[in-house]
Structure 1
């Protein structure tokens, strides 16, 4: 290797050394980032370093002082906890059982002068019982006709489980993340022996009953004018290879204005998976930086919105690579979120929100954009700070688009929140039994997500 370098010209040698240095810087930044991910605090809130006194730029002392002041500035995003006001009151909607306790002994010569009340929250374990329908038959005296009442409609025709039991099973698996085999153990503790295949059949048939409602949700989602989209993986058993799993994906569509959430399963993460919903979509489309969304975002009828939370994460990764510049970017992004917090706390309507953003956020965005445009020229493309700036620079119009309308959100966090139950669930049940089962699960995930937003 050394002999090969000796034969190079001075210019080629400089290029080789420069390339090697760039690679070393890149690997060091990656190592620092992984150490931060492994051992650092797992939070998105950022606070400037108050101990930093030197900046690696050749600038005037006045500008250094200004930057130091910016870095020392803190914008706290964690809600301040109110002063503790004592024990919280128990919910008024719960039924109450009153137990009166009188002192022991002879009370005939005493007068009651008051009482002290102590309350505790109690729980009665889930109760299994048999609901028996007894339908009496009546026959005409001349035996010409027989009458019997109709059996009430049931979720599973000729099946054993009632609607309440099926709701408990679905809630247990898809909301409380209890795999069916664990629920079988719960039944067994009550001396109710039910085969695993039977419980699986009940679950499948109960989910199939949701198909008409789910189809209506799909139809409504296609007509919404503002969607946030994200995707998350789900392992599915491969029918062709015993014991192997296929990597499928849930594509999740959240309509912030209507408060609906749609999960749609696809065996692929390719762009074709979004065609059923986004193929004819018109309006505001908010996504992360995944390239598949670019094609849909470039459609004439679509305004593509990017996510400031993802931009913030890129700069947070760069703190160990270029702390000064990463901090400067993060502080300006925090100013944008400070405006959003004030808007939310003041409960402003859409028009007032837009005015507030234009008055306060626009200037910050312009300053950040101008700074990135200048600084990106002085960063290594493969360095973490270079990647962060390139991420924002490439999506600048989409990141700024939330200023168009006060109904729009600054980030994609709401759809990410809707996805979290899937991440928790797959840690417990590990995979879906088939592509069809994954799609059936998508239906119940959709409705549970909507119910949680209504709470």
Structure 2
């Protein structure tokens, strides 16, 4: 039986949704009869119980339809107008293109046309005078079969001949260069183009190659970069604050595949992905290791399990929780409970305070300490009283058990200790959006090539996503970085090369 999440065709999905809606209506009627019967047997108020059950079901159905077919934005009302620019740009004039190579083309008159139309005498070129315009064009990519000939030398005295050294090779005796493998990796993991589509694209450009053949240099490149990838985890754990999150990833080795999970930890300038078959608390414990700083996460219970005492001992990290997830709960419940507007307004005030605070990670020494001290002072003076207002408001509310409003209140209050860590730890932001942005490439890639065909494929995917996204965070071109790191590792196996922080 095909699962709903495996549907790819829009019309089929619409038909399934219609069937589900009809089934929901039938189940509502059946539930109404059963609840009334049970309440009558118990001698309780059937109408009150029925109303409670129906309210919960309507909320669940509305939320399901919103998630399936509604907009994903959580914006409330119109945005405030942006402040005017100092020099407003009028119209849609041509943008400067300083990165493009410039090719000058001089167009002369045909020799037959070099005659004056008025007097009939010959025309001659007016030196230095042209009428100019610009156009942006495309030069098609081309693949080149490079034949490398290593010059041999012989000694006049009959000694052993000498041959010029060989260039670095991605695979000993292989046909594909480091530059080619880097290009394939960027297309697949940087721009989400599956190998099968690359095969068709390159065929149009004159290169006959199969998807499996493209995988071979890709996997070889990953082997050369393995040590650099492993070093990223140590880089992440040097930060006093990390973000953690996870998303599903399919292993397509049998039938429709099995659901694995991409686990991510990220510092402000480094990302490290791993793909595991489980989403358990034990896996979360493995992911966090012995990290002893602050870990910003959502409300997923596995992270809380990982920091509790167990067979392997608790992870020493301190958990901080995400206010964006709290806000999302109240945003979804607002349709059914108008009182949520007050919570959303108060959370909005928290974010307004944060907008005026200085960043700290890019600073060093006394400047960093001054920025952290300022953040702590402002939060204690402004944010602490505001969070207390939010908590007092939550305790004063009354909501039906099982309702979206009740769940939002319980979600926030159950995580309260972690939600207020930011008041005493100035390096902690309000939300976990940073790591969710770093997971975006994996989600897009998952949609385009559906997952990995083997366990080794999951390892290679995690490696390239980690290295490419870290290079982007640090401002280095991912292609230049991969080439630099690969050549260093080929020349000296085991060499660790990390992306450079630009600027």
* TM-score, scaled relative to structure 1: 0.83
After superposition, residues 33-432 of structure 1 pair within 5 angstroms as: 33-47=63-77, 76=79, 83-85=88-90, 86-87=92-93, 89-100=95-106, 106=116, 117-238=132-253, 242-256=254-268, 259-297=269-307, 301-322=316-337, 324-343=338-357, 349-375=371-397, 378-432=398-452
User: Counterpart of 1:421 in 2: which secondary structure?
Assistant: helix
Query: Is the Cα–Cα contact under 8 Å of residues 143 and 207 in structure 2 kept in the other structure?
Result: no
Bigger CA drift: 290-299 or 131-140?
A: 290-299
Query: Is the Cα–Cα contact under 8 Å of residues 46 and 330 in structure 1 kept in the other structure?
Result: no
Query: Is the Cα–Cα contact under 8 Å of residues 296 and 302 in structure 1 kept in the other structure?
Result: no
Query: Is the Cα–Cα contact under 8 Å of residues 228 and 286 in structure 1 kept in the other structure?
Result: yes
Structure 2 residue ranges without an equivalent (≥5): 1-33, 117-121, 309-313, 363-369, 476-503
CA positional deviation for 1:431: 2.2
User: Counterpart of 1:320 in 2: which secondary structure?
Assistant: coil
User: Counterpart of 1:349 in 2: which secondary structure?
Assistant: helix
Query: Is the Cα–Cα contact under 8 Å of residues 306 and 315 in structure 2 kept in the other structure?
Result: no
Give CA deviations for 1:221-246 in whole Å, capped at 9, x if unaligned: 344321100001110024xxx42411
Bigger CA drift: 412-421 or 131-140?
A: 131-140
CA positional deviation for 1:180: 0.5
Query: Is the Cα–Cα contact under 8 Å of residues 293 and 318 in structure 2 kept in the other structure?
Result: yes
Query: Is the Cα–Cα contact under 8 Å of residues 234 and 249 in structure 1 kept in the other structure?
Result: yes
C-alpha separation between the residues in 2 aligned to 1:101 and 1:92?
A: 24
CA positional deviation for 1:3: 7.3
CA positional deviation for 1:335: 1.2
Aligned residues: 416
1:26 corresponds to: 56
Query: Is the Cα–Cα contact under 8 Å of residues 350 and 407 in structure 1 kept in the other structure?
Result: yes
Change (3 A) 1:158 1:230: same
Query: Is the Cα–Cα contact under 8 Å of residues 231 and 252 in structure 1 kept in the other structure?
Result: yes
CA positional deviation for 1:220: 2.7
> Which of 467, 470, 484 is matched with 1:447 structurally?
467
Query: Is the Cα–Cα contact under 8 Å of residues 294 and 318 in structure 2 kept in the other structure?
Result: yes
User: Counterpart of 2:140 in 1: which secondary structure?
Assistant: coil
Query: Is the Cα–Cα contact under 8 Å of residues 252 and 258 in structure 2 kept in the other structure?
Result: yes
User: Counterpart of 1:261 in 2: which secondary structure?
Assistant: strand
C-alpha separation between the residues in 2 aligned to 1:447 and 1:113?
A: 50
Structure 1 residue ranges without an equivalent (≥5): 48-73
Change (3 A) 1:168 1:294: same
1:69 corresponds to: none
Change (3 A) 1:18 1:441: same
